[in-house]
Structure 1
């Protein structure tokens, strides 16, 4: 590990000296249950990132996306996130089995602020509400049920700094294509042409199959 000249922060007091303390308003904005504004946000959000950590500290952050409103609100303190076909690594799910604490970050395209939800999760394989999780004929094999402990909004500064929603700042070709990444790191025995076809325009046809 590179460490030449590294000056590490090792105490909260030192961290506060460097970054300061939150205002009373920011420190007190955490709530224990959903407000109607939160319900409207979840109904409009098509994307979230779920962060988990195993009992040994192993971490994962997994993106989840579906049509807007894919997160089902059961009540003011309980939400459900359906699982869709993916790479089957189950990193986050395996973390939840040993440590139920999760953090979710909900995004609405074009909005700089985000909704943050922290709580305790359970992996559910069936329940009466699963019929409400069907999309394009796909009924999820499992879902993540989250009992909310904290919910609050985060300001837009990071999105403004990054210009994330400004198309004129986008450079999708700045990094190798998904096909080239797969060829180099994951599927070296497959032809690049085949991978380009696999990850091409028809890739979206297999989202739920």
Structure 2
């Protein structure tokens, strides 16, 4: 927190942000070459890229970046997350679509992901791919609540579809399989081809997730304008 010399608890930190004028929180999910949801300056962007995620506070020129620490003896290690506040530039976040755009893009991404899976013979990738697909279907069938109450229904649809696309991507990459297994790929060139084919689909899914997570604060800002 600004002016703080020692960490404070999350509840107190959120209260102080509210006192400073915070109106909401936006999620950013950047990766190298894609500063998704970031607005600068370079110091904040670099920290967020290292973490792979960040939160931008609307109404206050601050961003929050997580740092994960592990402590404890072997066999009893616990993790602690400290959120560092860093000044940010008050500007539109990079490459975040509207919910409508995200929904349209996801429909095409789902078709592309399915085509890639079929073309690269992921359907015949063996028990690991099938187990991953069944695990995803089981999670989806439990009717889990993926967003807090108050989000627009479209945000829920977009997030669920983005997660479905993400599950297909994980299966295509051999997620959950043994070391060195990438679906049905049997050569380095096939693995590279698969990654290249799925890269734009993965980008679309990540953009849609950020759009869905940030939909609540976007709606609040529209209502207050």
TM-score by length of 2: 0.29
Relative contact order, higher structure (CA 8 A, sep 6+): 2
TM-score by length of 1: 0.30
Higher strand share: 1
